[in-house]
Structure 1
Amino acid sequence: MNVQLPNTKPHYIILDGLRGVAAITVVAFHILEAHATSHLDMMINHGYLAVDFFFLLSGFVIGYAYDDRWQKLSLGEFFKRRLIRLHPLIIFGMLVGAVCFYFQDSAPWPKIDEVPLSTLLVVMIIGFTLIPLPISMDIRGWQEMHPLNGPAWTLFFEYVANILYAVGLRRLPNIALAVLAVLAAGALIHLGLTNPYGDVIGGWSLDPTQLYIGSVRLLFPFLAGLLLSRIIKLGTISNAFTWCSLLLLIVLAMPRIGGSENLWMNGLYDSLTIILIFPIVIYLGASGRVEGPIQNNICKFLGDISYPIYITHYPLIYIYTGWVQEHRYSIEDTALVAVLVFVGSIALSYAALKLYDEPLRNWLTRKFVAK
């Protein structure tokens, strides 16, 4: 629990750093996913589980930041704070997605002369609101609720979690939260064991099956994170950032388990990683000490770019994926371009943070948030 700010709670800077590690891993996962032929041969095979880690971390941070403030905090004030924190970059990510869609020129994707500009603008404007689009309005062909910026589906569920927390979950005693978390864990294990793909991947489409998957992926991590923020007694752990980063990278990069013959094995790995390993990572990270100014700066940088890189990188992935699939390139053929996309995603996120997000959030906070 690492840096004490004046008149504030201690700030979990190591958890910020771990969020950044997971977010950068997602970028690498999506770049390499363009070369996969199925779920079985994806490189950084379990990178998709970073989403579930984000949900658990969100529950922990929301509970820690807001549980003891409701005597002075109104619902309106809470939602204003969350909108100011999250929504500017949602709008920016949709703008980047619209620009990339307009100029995309690979065979797998529709050209702008196949999708009227007016339709593109409507999809973009609806995307600004984060209202999910029905499959009938999908202009890309991947059945995404946000076809200009696919990962925005997780922000839709993040907003759902924030609403559930504000209107009800915050009032529940720990025993009730624990019961709900156990039930949600059972649903998560069931999903992992029965999903026909042998994993917990899904949640990005506005159809019953995908909405169910997204809800199951949200509920246990968020409830567990919220409960964890209330009940854990933190220790003092040295080198926590290093060890937690390694553990996180190992579970996300783990090769596919069970192959095509035993799909349930990989689904069980997914669910148990979310239920057992991720809470341990959060506990260790929250209990850790920053080891000197260099590690402090690394954690701060990773934490600063974690959300921007997650919500802005995927329009670049669309272009890269289309190019790879059109020409049937291997990763060896495109290694230099892949590195450029990776570095470009980091650069774009940092520019968005410093030139757009931070100035806008500071202005909105001064204008609309009560002192």
Structure 2
Amino acid sequence: MEKKRIDSLDALRGLAALAVVLRHYTTIFSIDYGVPESFKFEFKYGYLGVELFFLISGFVIFMTIEQVKSSKEFIIKRFVRLFPTYWLSILITTSAILFFGLPKMQFSSKDFLVNLTMIQDVVNPIFHTKHIDGVYWSLAVELLFYGFILLLFKLKWLTHIKLIGFLWVLISIICIPNDISVFMLGVIFNLKWSPLFFAGILFYKLWKYDLEKMKLSTHILIVFSLLAYFFLTLTKFEEESKSNIVECIVATLFFIIFYLVAYQKLKFLGKNKVLLFLGKISYPLYLIHQNIGYIVLFYLIQTLKFDYQIIILIPILISILLATIIVFKFEAVYLDRLKKYLLNKFQ
């Protein structure tokens, strides 16, 4: 049975992006640049919004690969979805840093050029580059996951995804805690994040195929993925400002939410226009908010002497405005045309 677009996932994207924004404008900004005592609010676990993005990606990318007819179609669609908006966001952020940049934001021309590839984390041992904006680290993770799924598609192994996913996660829980990585294969194959991507795939199968709901193996593998996440989290070094236990609790909540999505019990989320709007602009909002928001906050506090937490609404609104312009004046106008042109040219 053909199923429609899942609005509840778009709403979850919006929540994930907002969580990351709040984390940066409270906890991280305070660490990097200092804030007055009147800044009491923290959202220090907002970074887990990125892990929610990884679950969503597992779901959505497997859905996408099942719908394409060729690897070229998949590559073109992913390229158009990711790179033009990413490049525009880099140009905007770079311009803001060059004119108004703060300490810790400096970068070189080499950094800029390598950042254009989106895989600066992968090539960092060679080029020793930094991110133009800190959030860019997760994009290489996503890109490598797309490459992994594309490889399975080319090899015609997608029908064996349960076995492959199980082995993928099993290798992760063996290698990651023991710091075993051969020629960066741990990075290239996303061993650190495999439980989330694989669980996203399994939740998609539950949502798409009614027969999967009756297969015990699917539910066992979802629980296995969650337990693997627990193991990878609880065996890592615990930072002073974070709790590995809290991360596990939040991840459990994410898995419960995805079960509800798979069984179509969260349709009410997809009816919330605010969350749907945030979901629509979530990608450019994620890309554009960090350093530009820091610049705005810094000058509001240091120059204009605003010293209450309420002022984080200003960079939030500015970031949402910029993301909205990118979506409706750039993506909506040019990306569909670009996709059609590339699909016609490379068929």
Of residues 24, 42, 52, the one that matches 2:18 is 24
Aligned pair in 2 of structure 1 residues 366, 337: CA closer, same or farther (>3 Å)?
same
Aligned pair in 2 of structure 1 residues 270, 212: CA closer, same or farther (>3 Å)?
farther
Aligned pair in 2 of structure 1 residues 42, 162: CA closer, same or farther (>3 Å)?
farther
Deviation at 1:271, TM superposition (A): 4.0
TM-score, normalization by structure 2: 0.72
Deviation at 1:109, TM superposition (A): 4.6
- Is the contact between residue 149 and residue 314 of structure 1 (CA under 8 Å) also seen in structure 2? yes
- Is the contact between residue 13 and residue 299 of structure 1 (CA under 8 Å) also seen in structure 2? no
- How many residue pairs get aligned? The number is 303
Residue equivalent to 2:124: 134
- Is the contact between residue 57 and residue 225 of structure 1 (CA under 8 Å) also seen in structure 2? yes
Residue equivalent to 2:30: 35
Residue equivalent to 1:363: 337
Percent identity for Structure 1 against Structure 2:
24
Deviation at 1:319, TM superposition (A): 1.8
Tell me how large the CA RMSD over aligned residues is.
Answer: 4.1
- Within a 5 Å distance, the mapping from 1:171-210 to structure 2 comes to 171=158, 173-180=160-167, 182-183=169-170, 186=173, 190=177
Does the alignment pair 1:227 with 2:202? yes
- Is the contact between residue 107 and residue 322 of structure 1 (CA under 8 Å) also seen in structure 2? no
| DSSP 3-state at the match of 1:288 | coil
- Alignment-mate amino acid for residue 54 of structure 1: F
Residue equivalent to 1:76: 72
Residue equivalent to 2:280: 304
Deviation at 1:361, TM superposition (A): 1.0
Gaps of 5+ in 1: 195-206, 235-256
Residue equivalent to 2:141: 157
- Within a 5 Å distance, the mapping from 1:1-371 to structure 2 comes to 9-32=3-26, 33-36=28-31, 43-67=42-66, 69=67, 73-110=69-106, 119-120=108-109, 122-132=110-120, 134=124, 144=130, 146=131, 148-168=132-152, 171=158, 173-180=160-167, 182-183=169-170, 186=173, 190=177, 215-231=190-206, 266-271=243-248, 273-274=250-251, 276-286=252-262, 287-288=264-265, 290-291=267-268, 295=271, 297-320=273-296, 327=302, 333-369=307-343
Deviation at 1:308, TM superposition (A): 1.6
Distance of 1:37 and 1:98 partners within structure 2: 19
Gaps of 5+ in 2: 34-39, 211-233
- Alignment-mate amino acid for residue 92 of structure 1: L
- Is the contact between residue 178 and residue 227 of structure 1 (CA under 8 Å) also seen in structure 2? no
Deviation at 1:352, TM superposition (A): 0.7
Distance of 1:184 and 1:353 partners within structure 2: 39
- Alignment-mate amino acid for residue 149 of structure 2: Y
Structure (1 or 2) with the greater helix fraction: 2
Deviation at 1:128, TM superposition (A): 2.2
1:10-64 CA-to-partner distances (Å, cap 9, x unmatched) read: 11011101110110121111100211489xx992121111111101110111112
TM-score, normalization by structure 1: 0.68
- Is the contact between residue 8 and residue 269 of structure 2 (CA under 8 Å) also seen in structure 1? no
Distance of 2:268 and 2:243 partners within structure 1: 36
Distance of 2:339 and 2:176 partners within structure 1: 41
Aligned pair in 2 of structure 1 residues 60, 348: CA closer, same or farther (>3 Å)?
same
